[in-house]
Amino acid sequence: MASAKLTQLIYKLNHDEYRERCLAENELVTLGKEAVEALIMVVVHQLMLPALRAASALSRISDERGVLPVARLALRESAPIPQILDILAEWQWQELPKEWAAKELVRIAKRYKQSQMPSIIWEDFLPRVRTLSPGWTPPVIVVPAPVVVPTFEDMPDAIQALRSIHYGTRQAATATLIAIGEEAVPALMDLLDNGSTTLCYRAAEILGEIGDTRAIAPLIAIRKTRGQDIEQACNRALIKLAKQLPATATTEDIPLLIALIQRLRYDLSTHDVALSAAMALEHLARTRPTPSLRGALKWLKPVVVPLPPGFKSARLAIEEATEQWQDLPLVTSSPVALVTDLPLPADASPCLEESQ
Does residue 24 share a domain with residue 96? Answer: yes
Mean pLDDT computed over every residue of the chain: 83
Task: Supply φ then ψ for residue 305, to 5 degrees.
Answer: -85, 130
Is residue 71 in a domain?
A: yes
* Predicted local confidence at residue 14, as pLDDT: 78
- Indicate whether 223 and 254 sit together in one domain: no
Domain count of the fold of the chain = 3
Do 121 and 60 belong together in one domain? yes
Same domain, 226 and 123: no
Cα–Cα distance measured from residue 29 to residue 11, given in angstroms and rounded to the nearest whole number: 15
pLDDT of residue 271: 85
Residues 7 and 127 in one domain: yes
Is the same domain home to 255 and 219?
A: no
Is 138 part of a structural domain of the chain?
no
174 and 120 share one domain: no
Q: What is the pLDDT of residue 329?
A: 66
Span 2-20, average pLDDT: 76
What is the pLDDT at residue 134? 84
Asked if 116 and 173 sit in the same domain, the reply is no
Instruction: Using the predicted structure, report yes or no on whether residue 127 has a pLDDT greater than 80.
Output: yes
- Tell me, yes or no, whether 19 and 120 share the same domain: yes
Model pLDDT for residues 129-176, shown as the tens digit of each residue: 999 888 777 676 644 444 455 677 888 999 999 988 888 888 888 888
5 has pLDDT over 80: no
**pLDDT tens column, 21-77:** 889 899 999 988 889 999 998 888 888 888 899 999 999 998 889 999 999 998 887
28 inside domain: yes
Q: Is pTM beyond 0.85 here?
A: no
Q: Who has greater pLDDT, 24 or 16?
A: 24
pLDDT number for residue 21: 87
**144 assigned to some structural domain:** no
More confident position, 335 or 320: 320
Query: Which tens digits make up the pLDDT trace of 214-251?
Result: 999 999 989 888 888 899 999 999 998 998 888 888 99
User: Taking 60 as the threshold, does the pLDDT of residue 335 lie above it?
Assistant: no
Residue 45 placed within a domain: yes
The pLDDT value recorded for residue 149 is 57
- Boundaries of domain holding 280: 249-339
pLDDT band at 287 (very low <50, low <70, confident <90, very high): very high
Whole-number pLDDT of residue 350: 34
Using pLDDT thresholds of 50, 70 and 90, give the confidence band for residue 327: confident
Same domain, 115 and 7: yes
Give residue 147's pLDDT. Answer: 42
Report if residue 307 sits inside a domain: yes
Q: Are residues 227 and 286 in the same domain?
A: no
Q: Is residue 344 part of a domain?
A: no
Which of the listed residues 242, 276, 301 is the one where a domain comes to its end?
242
Same domain, 211 and 260: no
Q: Is 62 domain-assigned?
A: yes
pLDDT in tens, 181-227: 889 999 999 999 887 888 999 999 999 988 888 999 999 989 888 88
| 340-354 mean pLDDT | 37
